[in-house]
Structure 1
Amino acid sequence: MRAQEATDKPADGAYAWMVIFACLISLMLSIGINDAYGVYQQHYQLNEFPDETATLISWIGTVQFLVMCFCGIFSGFLCEHFDTRVLNSIGALIMGAALIGGSYCTSIGGLMATQGLLYGLGASFPFVAGTSIPSQWFTRRRGLATGIALAGSGIGGMWMVSATQAMIDTHGRPWAMRVTGGVAMAAVLAVSPWMRVRLVPARTEHIIDWALLRDARFNVFLAAVVFVVAAYFGPFYQMPSYSVVVLHKSQTWGSNMDTLMNGISVVGRLAAGFLADSVGPLNLLIANTVLAVVSLMALWVPFDSVGTLFAVDILFGFAIGGMVSVIPVVAAQVFGLARLPSIIGLLFVGYVAGGLLGVPPMSALLDNVGHRTDYTSSIWYMSVLPLCALVLLVVMRLLITRQWMVKI
């Protein structure tokens, strides 16, 4: 589909880097806050709702992510038809209102409606825009620019974990949510003037470009994305409570493991940005998925020591950071730039499926098989998910070419 220029600003220029900065901030305060949900999971599970199951509590964060992705399907369509700067601003207002409203809730149902559903709705706009816009603004350093923008989610998760834990310890959970909501609203509103697309396709009435589903390569890629997303949140959600229950560390120590993982994921995102342009984004995605499998299956499954957990934290954080940052670059290179927001929107169907396939079954295994103390079955489940993604990504590459030395 032929694309039209939406602005006279050139690609690869100074303005393009301002767009990247705006995307970084938008992702830092949208998906970054979701990455920090493990702190709330730990607090709810151990302090506020100790009599409720881990499965039920995990649904607050799961609903947050699922709604963000489900609404992202429609956000991609809206980003092609309306001003993304306005949409980003609307998202900022809803995000802030959701967290501030959630601070007054004292039940899991109320938190699921505010911190979960309403926040996910608002975050879907900066999430889609921040993920899909960067690739449109660069031709020479697309992987690097996209990696920098998507590093925002890891940066947000890194400082948000520590800040949230500190605010909960000092001022309580309600004030932690109010401050977070106010900061998210103000920061995303401030960068919204630069959140603009560079290319728009010819007008279409289709919310999703279903023609992509006739491409076998895309179907395999979509299935792989399901398993990547399913694998993503498990360690972030369960490592804090695992540190307390299994390793007998403090809650602050447990939340620091999420901080470290988010920090390493930023390094992984930036490294993926540097390497994607030279080795090929799909090749890099496969390599990072191998690392994720090794970190969980060869280290976390058989060992339960502090040193091993640090190794898992570092290796998995690096691998998953590179995996999520390179997905939009693979989509842009293999399937084209013009309708990238809609392509990302269709991938969000996979994100929704991945969200359902990931944390809820892991938490159910912890409750029903591990009786909230034995994490073995849950960790095994986490390990199988990236392995499935790896098999599918290899199949996708074989559908494109049988030559293994080719940059893809």
Structure 2
Amino acid sequence: MRTKKTGTPPQHVQRGLGISAGAGAFAYRRPGPLSTSSGPVVVAAVFCLVFLVMGAAFSFSTFAAELRQELDAGSGSISFIFGCAMALLYAGGLFSGALADRIGTHRVAGAGVLLAGGSLVAAGAVGTIWQADVALGLGFGLGLAVCYTPAVAAVQPWFDRNRGVASGIALSGTGLGTLLMPLLARWLIDSEGWRAALTIIGLTVAGFGFVASNWIRRPPGLPTTSSSPWSPGSLRKLAREPSFRRLYVAGFLSSLVLLVPIVHMLPHAVRAGVAARDAAWLISILGFGSLAGRLMFGHAADRLGRQRTLGALHVALGLLFLTWTVKVGFITLALFAFAYGVCYGATIALRPAVIADHFSGPNLAAVTGLHYTSSVLGPLVGPAAFGYSVDFWNSDLIASCAAAVCLVAAGYFFAAKPPQLRLRRVGICQPQRRGQKMRGFSGFRPLVVPAA
């Protein structure tokens, strides 16, 4: 709640924000009621930004065949470009989040989307594989890293009770982008060629994304940090937080497996006897399920508990991996793709909301970026290890069981609630002199129980 005249938080909210400076910003505290009319505007802006940048990222497979043929490169070299971009997305969020906390989310997100769009335009003129690595793997990956984490973290401070719903709506732009952007890319490639398609998509991402980033801002009463939160002492205090350690381990275990069906869905369906033309629809079905999951589970998570819901969704994903080993045709795989997409999309939407529940404060974007570093190695190691296991054993049963174990373990760490830390509030818990009575206890009298 904010005052009508000034639009600033009430005095008790300001005191709660003031104690979050420095290392105290990493401590757990129960968020107060905070919601303004500008929150929906921020949600809409984040929706548009992630629709553009993440839709362009997941359109990479549409350009893979043209890049492989034009640049005379192998499948491994082309796949490395996408893996590098995804790794940078999670690794760079640590620095972009801290920078957004200091100079403003809209400035950092705007610079990131311009870099991402410019890299796509530059990729339309590449002539060798190393140029594609620089333009798409390095440039576009850095652009994603700079704009994604600050934008996602900007939604959470505007909401409290409906934080899961707001996060789900904002991040559903990724699901819609996964559905529509590959279709747009395919149409542009067929009509204009792959180089012109990359140029057009890059200009669209840079232009519309920069406009959307101007509306991604923090609440007016939330202070910005004047110094970097990444001092050695602050990092040690954050690493000792049980909640952060559990969330970090859960994020690492989850990242090892979450992208495996997206990468291996088509070859898995072909091994099951599905025609390659029909198998291509499974990715679209998974994307549709991802969009539905981000929209469906937000309200339920706000009522049932965001942390418990996130853990239960990972357990459900683990059970779905066991059903993936049943190869009975296209219908079964389509049902798996939709169900997996629903749970996958909901987990992506709830993770930043859960982080905000534990670490609300002026350094929220920096903490979110640090948490996302747990997912750096997963996209590089998990899908490759799954593929090598399938080739070695000539079966996906062992790899699927191992993936199910990872997801169930991630669900346990996500759902486990650490002990709540106490905070010292200014003016309430100040050290008292010896012999001085505390406020509220000056008139204390022992309780007298009446005789029967």
TM bracket, shorter-chain basis: 0.7 to 0.9
Where do residues 120-131 of structure 1 align in structure 2 (5 Å cutoff)?
A: 120-131=141-152
Contact 1:76 1:344 in 2 (8 A): yes
- In the TM superposition, what are the counterparts of 1:224-235 in structure 2 within 5 Å? 224-235=250-261
The question of 1:3 aligning with 2:17 is answered yes
Structure 2 counterpart of 1:156: 177
Alpha carbons 2:318, 2:407 under 8 Å: kept = no
The one-letter code sitting in structure 1 at the alignment partner of 2:163 is R
Bigger radius of gyration? 2
Residues 106-125 of structure 1 mapped to structure 2, 5 A cutoff: 106-125=127-146
1:56 shift after superposition:
3.2
**Cα gap change, 1:26 to 1:348, in 2 (>3 Å):** same
Q: Distance in 2 between matches of 1:393 and 1:23?
A: 27
Partner of 1:406: none
Task: Report the CA distance between 1:241 and its aligned residue.
Answer: 5.1
Q: Is 1:302 paired with 2:323? A: no
- Provide the C-alpha distance between the structure 2 equivalents of 1:175 and 1:148, rounded to a whole number of angstroms: 32
Q: What is the identity, as a one-letter code, of the residue corresponding to 1:173? A: W
Greater fraction helix: 1
Cα deviation, residue 344, structure 1 = 0.7
Give the deviation of 1:141 after TM superposition.
1.2
Q: Which moved more, 1:253-262 or 1:305-314?
A: 253-262
Q: Is the 8 A contact 2:50 2:173 kept in 1?
A: yes
Structure 2 unmatched ranges of 5 or more: 1-14, 21-32, 420-452
Conserved in 1, the CA contact under 8 Å of 2:321 and 2:403?
A: no
Taking the TM superposition and a 5 Å limit, the aligned residue runs for 1:75-154 are 75-154=96-175
Which residue in the other structure is 1:277 paired with? 302
Task: Normalising by structure 2, report the TM-score.
Answer: 0.77
Are 1:385 and 2:403 an aligned pair?
A: yes
TM-score, normalised with respect to structure 1 = 0.85
Q: State the one-letter code of the partner of 1:146.
A: S
Structure 1 stretch displaced more, 209-218 or 265-274: 209-218
Determine helix, strand or coil for the equivalent of 2:356. helix
- 1:189 matched to 2:210? The reply is yes
Counterpart of 1:348?
Answer: 372
Give yes or no for the alignment of 1:313 onto 2:337.
yes
Pair 1:267 & 2:292 matched: yes
Q: Does the Cα contact within 8 Å between 1:59 and 1:360 map onto a contact in 2?
A: no
CA separation in 2, counterparts of 1:244 and 1:48?
26
Question: Structure 2 vs 1, CA of residues 200 and 61 (structure 1 numbering), >3 Å: closer, same or farther?
Answer: farther
Once structures 1 and 2 are overlaid, which stretch shifts more, 382-391 or 213-222? 382-391
Q: CA deviation at 1:148?
A: 0.6
Aligned-residue identity in percent: 21
Amino acid at match of 2:290: S
Q: How far does the alpha carbon of each residue in 1:172-218 deviate from its partner, in whole angstroms, 9 at most, with x for none?
A: 32222222212111121111221112234543323375222102232
Instruction: Kindly report the root-mean-square deviation, in angstroms, between the aligned alpha carbons of the 2 structures.
Output: 2.8
Residue 400 of structure 1 is matched in structure 2 by: 418
Residue 14 of structure 1 deviates from its aligned partner by 2.6
Tell me the residue number matched to 2:240: 214
- Cα distance, 1:25–1:396 mapped onto 2, change above 3 Å: closer
Q: Is the 8 A contact 1:161 1:255 kept in 2?
A: no
Give the letter for the 1:289 counterpart.
Answer: H
Structure-2 residue corresponding to 1:179: 200
Q: Please, which of 272, 286, 296 is the counterpart of residue 311 of structure 2?
A: 286
